[in-house]
Amino acid sequence: MTPRPLTLITDNWYDIRDLSNLSGKIEELIRDANGPHWAVWVVSALLGAIGIVAFIGGVAIINIWIERRVVGRMQSRLGPNRLGPFGLLQPLADAIKLMQKEVLQPKAADGLVFSIAPIAFTVPGIVIMAVLPWGRNMSLARLDVGILFILAMSSLGALAVFTGGYGSNNKYALFGAMRVIAMLVTYEIPSVLALLGLVLFSGTMDLADMVLFQEKFWIPLVLVQPLPFLIYFISSSAELNRTPADLAEAESEIAGGYHVEYSGMKFGLFYAAELINAVAISAIIATVFLGGWWFYKLDELVPGWMIFIGKIYAVYFLFVWTRGTLPRFRIDQLLAFAWKWMTPMAFANIIVVAAEVLIWDETGASAGLVLPLYIAFNMLFAGVLIVAWVRFMGPRFSRFPDRLRYFDRIDVPSLPAMRAPAPAAAAPKSGSGAPARSASEGGGDLRGGRLVGGPRP
């Protein structure tokens, strides 16, 4: 008899490393008590739902702190550090403050639409969690169209933002809302096509099966498909309105955008739901690209859901990182980037993946031979495609003016204070570049009335 030294998970119901034991025990208890079948269903659904909502509640509280601290550290600030140890109580203080603020609602606003928006913004991020596998047997709802469910739900968030902006009856809010819709319809295409490559490779839309696929072949799909990972990461970050693409709120342009009229707890819900949606998208990426609850042999020691949460936060850190580093894009840059860069790349990726799957099936080669080849080829392909596309699109983007020469040619009108004080000065008051330069060179001061002379030597 060979013992399995690494496996510590038992079948005991109190083993929290696999919570399906617990629900199995409860199911058994109900069946022993001759309970009806629907009671089993209700109890298991209730347990899962409570677990997910508890996780989401924790996320909404703790992520405010994480986000502010990490971004603060990235930008050489401290972040909140006054309330409690390391400022951990800051989110609670924020919540209490927001709850007791006076609720302002403009008279011109559409009351019902205005009030529904923050609630509708929170819901999809939570419902997405239902189809994700949290452990080997731990999906609340194991749908065979899980990917479609996720895509449908993740685009509902933008619709809620539009509702809020439209219902506010404010011009800034409407601009923000229209920008959200433009970004949603643009970035939906690359993200859908990026996930299509994964569905093609694993041959299933069931998220639990996708994790099992990665477990079977001992490989996280991000290695096999690096290009869809990049595309999906960028486009979901745009759909989430996070900072490289937060055109919908854009404080410096449209003064907060869609939530400019919200105050009190409704604003707080928008704020929390943004983080919840970010965690939901991180969870999707962690499931389909990084292998969910599976991590080589680790899931035999550590509970699967703990590995899964660790992966969620690893991806979430990437989101915070981009938020802390990148400046905001202009809307024309952002939309052209989706249509002209990511959509054709996603199509190219689908064709390549389809060819790879076909070759794999037709030759019947072993996975150990095929997968390393595909990893090498796909990484090379992603790099070459990006470089080639930059070259192809290049001339239009690289026509940046050479700053020095460009500014030298501009004829700057002189300010009154810089003009020659004496009317009898030798230099003419306004002339072309050359005489002014010679005058300033001769006099060594600003008597020519110019900060910058003619063309540099």
Nearer to other proteins among residue 163 and residue 343 (C-beta) = 343
Q: What crossing angle do the helices spanning 226-239 and 171-202 adopt, rounded to 10°?
A: 160
**Side chain identity at residue 201, one-letter code:** F
In contact, 133 and 148? CB cutoff 8 Å: no
Give the C-alpha separation, 370 to 328, whole Å: 41
Query: Which CB sits closer to other proteins, 278 or 427?
Result: 278
Q: Could you tell me the smallest distance in angstroms from the CB atom of residue 119 to other proteins?
A: 5
To the nearest whole angstrom, how small is the minimum distance from the Cβ of residue 193 to other proteins?
6
Between 174 and 420, CB nearer to other proteins: 174
- Min separation Cβ 38 and other proteins, Å: 10
Tokens (6 digits) for 213: 């696929």
Nearer to other proteins, 328 or 340 (CB): 340
Tell me how far, at minimum, the Cβ of 333 lies from other proteins, in Å.
8
**Which tokens go with 294?**
């599976």
Kindly state the tokens that stand for 311.
Answer: 């992966």
448 with 427: CB under 8 angstroms?
yes
- Residue 324 burial (C-beta neighbours within 10 Å; 0-12, 13-18, 19+): middle
Nearest to other proteins of 149, 295 (CB atom): 149
Query: What end-to-end distance do the CA atoms of the chain give, in Å?
Result: 87
Q: How far is the CB of 171 from other proteins (least distance, A)?
A: 5
Q: How far is the CB of 192 from other proteins (least distance, A)?
A: 4
Smallest separation (angstroms) from other proteins to the CB of 112: 14
* Residue 262 vs 295, nearer CB to other proteins: 262
Choice between 106 and 435, CB closer to other proteins: 106
CA distance 243 to 334: 12
**Which two three-digit tokens encode residue 320?**
């915070």
How would you class 404 by CB atoms within 10 Å of its CB: exposed for 0-12, middle for 13-18, buried for 19 or more? exposed
Give the sign of the dihedral formed by CA 85, CA 89, CA 91, CA 93.
negative
